[in-house]
Amino acid sequence: MEKKPVSHIIAGLIVSSVMILCSLVINFTGQIGNQTLGYVTYLLMMALLIYFIIQHGKANDDNQSFGQLFTYGFKATALIALVTVGFNLLLFIIFPDLKETVMDASREQMVKRGGVTDQQIEQGMEFMKKNFTMFMIMGGLLMAVLSGAIGSLIGAGIAKKNPPSPFQK
């Protein structure tokens, strides 16, 4: 049976779906302020990317170079970043009260850390409220691209590679 490689688009959509599911679980179980769960989601993204990169290499009989495997992973990452940020924008439009929940969780974290006056907390909250959408988009893109780049590097590094030499014919 011939091995058919999974395209970077399908891999990106699968990983995006898993991340969206994790996001929904975190949001609707009241765990928005739990940063650890957010990081676990990105670790899961990296693990899935590594898996898809290795499978892509195997489906191509390990005839892919590091650069080709990394490119595959990073193309999937670009799609993941766009889909997840788009989903988050849609989520905040559909559930506007979610923004307040995020703001409250941020306020609680500022108070917990201490060393900040009430006036500084209020100024920070006002600034965050004015720029919430920008922070959400930029933060989501940055985390997805950074996690995806790391996952792509690891996946391309550990995938078996036996690319044909350009001098062999």
Q: For the chain, what are the domain ranges?
A: 8-95+140-158
Instruction: Tell whether the model's pLDDT for residue 146 goes beyond 60.
Output: yes
Q: What is the pLDDT of residue 167?
A: 75
In contact, 70 and 8? CB cutoff 8 Å? no
Cα–Cα nearest to 3, from 50, 66, 55, 76: 55
Whether residue 70 is predicted with pLDDT greater than 80 in this model: the reply is yes
* pLDDT 10s digits, 91-145: 989 988 888 888 888 888 888 887 888 888 888 889 988 999 999 999 999 999 9
The number of helix segments (H) and strand segments (E) in the chain equals 6, 0
pLDDT of residue 1: 54
Q: How far apart are the two ends of the chain, measured CA to CA in Å?
A: 26
Any idea what DSSP says for residue 119?
Answer: H
What's the predicted TM-score (pTM) here? Answer: 0.86
Note the pLDDT of residue 158.
95
